[in-house]
Structure 1
Amino acid sequence: MTANSSKLDNATINFLQNSGAAISISTLYIFITAINLVGNGLSMWLLLFRTSPKSPSIIFMINLTLTDMALGAALPFQISYQLQGYQWNLGPKMCSFLTLVFYSNMYCSILTMMAIGIDRYLGIVRPMLFRRIRKKRLIAFISCFVMWGLVLSTLYPLMTTDLTYHVPQLNITTCFDILKTEMLPSVPAWAAFLFSMVFLLFLFPFCVTSFCYISVIRKLASDSKTSQKKRAIRLAVIVLLVFTFCFAPNNILLLIHSVLRLYYKKSIYTAYKLSLSFSCLNSCLDPFIYYFACKDFRQKLREIINLQSLSSGDSMKMENKETLYSAQ
C-alpha cells in the first residue's frame, strides 16, 4: 500500500513493471477462485438447506461462506487487472467496491473464526455458562452484524476515496496499488487507519482465537474420548494454520510497510502484495474448518458421498461391509 507524492518512488515503478510477479499472483488467484466457488458453493448449499437447526456455529459459518463467495466473485476482476499490466478500466467506483470486498473478506473471516472459537469455548470449557445464555441464535445474528459494522467502519476510507491513480510514466491507471496522500488528512490519521487494521482486526482476534482453541484442547484432552481429542486437535491446527500462513504474513508486512512508508519513506510493497495473495487462501480452507467444527456438516457431507458411492453400483458391497463391521 503506497501513498504517493508528486513523484513515484523507484520501488513502486519497479513493482508495476514486474510482469513475473503479476503472472504468479494471477495464477494463484485463478486456482483460489476455482476452489473457492466449488467448495463454498457446496458448503452454502449444505449449511442453508441440509443443516438444521441453525445453531450459532452454523450462523457464523453461513456468514463466513458469504464473504468467501463474494471474494471468489471479485477475484476475476483482480486477475484481469494484473494481467493487463495493472491497467484498471472499470472506473473508480468499481475499484473502491472490489477493494472493499477484498479486505472485508479477510477481516470478516478473522472475526468470524474468532466467534466460532468463542462458541466452541463456551460450549466445551464453560458449559454451565453456555446453558444459561438464552437466545443464542439471536446473539449470533447480532454478532455477525457487529462484525460487519466494525470491519466497514474501519475500512470506511476505502469507501469514500477514489482509489484509482494515473501513472504518466507507464501510461496506466492503477486500482489501490497507489494511494493518494490526501486520502487521509495527516500522518497520524494514516497511522491510525493502518494500525487499526493490524491490531484491532487481526492481532486481538488472533489472541482470542488461540486462547479459545488451546483451552478446548486442554479440556478435551483431560476428560473426553480419543476421537473427540483428535477432532479438536485437527480443528485447532487448521484454524492456527489459516492464521499463521494466510493472515499473519500479510498483516505483519502491512505493519512493517506502514512504518517504513510513513516515517522512513521506504517500501516493501512487492513482498506485501505477494503476502496479500496468500490471505485469499483462507477462502479455500474454510470448508475444511466447517468439516471439523460442525457435526451436522460432517454428517450431511458424508451422506452425499455415500449416496454417490451407492449410485455407482457399489451398494451391495457397502451393505456387506456394514454387516461385517456391525457383527464385530
Structure 2
Amino acid sequence: MRSHSHPVMTGNHSFKLDNATLYLFLSVNTSITISVIYMIVTVINLVGNGLSMWLLIFRTYPKTPSIIFMINLTLTDMAVGAALPFQITYQLQGYDWTLGSMMCSVMTLVFYTNMYCSILTMMAIGIVRYLGIILPMRYRDKVGTGKKKIIAIISCMLMWGLVLSVLHPLMKTDLTFYIPELKITTCFDILKREMLPSKAAWATFLFSMVFFLFLLPFCVTTFCYVRVILKLAKDSKTAQKKRAIHLISVVLLVFTFCFAPNNILLFAHAVLKLFYGQSLYMAYKLSLCLSCLNSCLDPFIYYFACKEFRQKLRKLMNLSSQSSADSMKTKHKECSYSAHYNCDSLEREDSKVSYPQRRSTK
C-alpha cells in the first residue's frame, strides 16, 4: 500500500515537491534526451562488454590478477547494460515506476554498485601495475602466482562487500514514492528522510559514499599511475610509454568525466536539501548519464592495460596482431628488460606460461 505522507529530503517535515524536481518530471525533452543517451550507452555497453567478457574468459591466458579484476569490472558493466532498458522505460513513461518497490531497489543497487565497484576495481588494477612495475622483485618473490590469483578473487569479494555495506540503507528502504499531484510513482527520484534516523546518519552515509568509495580510491589510483608513468619515462621503450600514457588517460577520463560529477553533485545536492532546502536535482540527474558512460569506456582500459587482450582483439577483427607496438622484436626487448610489463603485473612466472616455447631455455 502506498504512503502519501512520507517526509522526503526537502528539508521540511512534510512532503513538498521543489521546483527543480517538478521541472524534471514535467520536462518531456529532458526525459527524451536522457533516454536516448541511455539507449546509445546500452547498445555500446552490451556489445563492447560482451565481446570483452568472451575474450577475457575464453581467449586470454593466463588469468593474471589484472585479468580477474577486468572480468569483475565487465560483470558490473554488463549488469548496468541489462538494467538500463528498465530505466529508459521508466523515464519515457513520465517517471512512473510500475514494477514495484523490490525491482526499484534492485535497479538502484545495480546502478550504484556498478559505479563504485568500477572505481574500486580501477584502483585495484592500478595497484597491481604499481607493484609489478615499481616493486617488481618484492612483488614477485614474496607472492607466488597462485596466491596472487587468490588475493585478486578475495579482493573482488571484499569490494562487493564494502560497496553493499555502505549502500545498505538503500537495500532496506522502499525507494518508490507516490506523488498525488502528478499521479506517478517515482523510483529513487525522491528519497525519504526517514530512510536514516538523523541528519548525522545521513551525513555519515553520504560521507562514506563520497570519501571511501570515490575520493580515496581516486587518490590511490592517481598516485599509482603517476609513479608508473615516471618509472616508464626513465626506463622503458617508447611503445611502453605510449600505452601507459593512453591507459592512464582513459582511467583519469573515466574518473573525472564519469564519476566525479555524479559524486560531487550527489553530495552537494543532499547537503543543500538536508540543511538549506535547496536543490541541484536536475544537474545531479544529468550527471547519472555521465556515470553510466564508464561502462562503455572500460573496454578501452582492457585494450591498453593488457597486451594479450589487445592481440586477441586484433586477431578477432582480422587485423594483424603484429604492430609497431606489439611486434616480436619489441616484445623480445620488453621481456628481456622486465617480464612484468606484459599485462600489468606479468611476472616472469606468467610470462613462461604465456610463451611455453621458452621453457627449454630455463
SS in 2 for 1:306: coil
Residue 297 of structure 2 aligns to a residue in which SS? helix
Query: Which residue of 306, 311, 320 corresponds with 1:299?
Result: 311
Residues 93-139 of structure 1 deviation map (CA, whole Å, 9 limit, x = unaligned)? 00001100010000000000000000001001111221122310000
Partner Cα distance (1:302, 1:15) in 2: 44
Shift of 1:8: 2.2
Q: Find the partner of 1:285 among 291, 297, 300.
A: 297
More helix by share: 1
- 2:238 match: 226
The separation in 2 between residues aligned to 1:6 and 1:68, in whole angstroms, is 35
CA distance in 1, matches of 2:293, 2:15: 36
Q: 2:143 aligns with which of 111, 124, 133?
A: 133
Q: Does residue 23 of the first structure (1) align with residue 32 of the second (2)?
A: yes
1:103 maps to which residue? 112
Residue 79 of structure 2 is aligned to residue 75 of structure 1: no
Three-state SS of the structure 2 residue aligned to 1:173 is strand
1:68, distance to aligned residue in structure 2 (A): 0.2
Q: Is the 8 A contact 2:116 2:213 kept in 1?
A: yes
8 A Cα contact 2:9 2:270, kept in partner: no
Structure 2: tracts of 5 or more residues without a match: 1-7, 321-326, 328-362
Segment of structure 1 superposing worse, 38-47 or 17-26? 17-26
Alignment partners' CA distance in 2, 1:259 and 1:7: 17
Higher mean displacement: 84-93 or 253-262: 253-262
- Alignment-derived partner of residue 15 in structure 2: 6
For 1:143, what is the secondary structure of its paired residue?
A: helix
SS in 1 for 2:94: coil
Alignment of 1:26-105 (within 5 A): 26-105=35-114
The secondary structure found in structure 2 opposite 1:3 is coil
Cα distance in 1 between the residues matched to 2:317 and 2:29: 40
Alignment of 1:202-281 (within 5 A): 202-281=214-293
**1:43-70 CA distances to partner (integer Å, 9 max, x unpaired)?**
0000000011110000000000000000
Query: 5 Å matches for 1:195-206?
Result: 195-206=207-218
Alignment size in residue pairs: 309
Q: Distance in 2 between matches of 1:278 and 1:207?
A: 20
Give, in angstroms, the shift of residue 183 of structure 1: 0.8
Q: Give a deviation string over 1:177-227, Cα, whole Å, max 9, x none.
A: 001111111111111111211111000000000001110000000011010
Q: How many angstroms apart in 1 are the aligned matches of 2:32 and 2:125?
A: 35
Asked if 1:120 is matched to 2:126, the reply is no
- After TM superposition, the score normalised by the length of structure 1 is 0.92
State the one-letter code of the partner of 1:117: G
How far apart are residue 7 of structure 1 and its match? 2.3
**Consecutive unaligned residues in structure 1, runs of 5 or more:** 310-321, 323-328
Aligned mates of 1:113, 1:205 — CA distance in 2: 8
Deviant stretches of 4+, over 6 Å: none
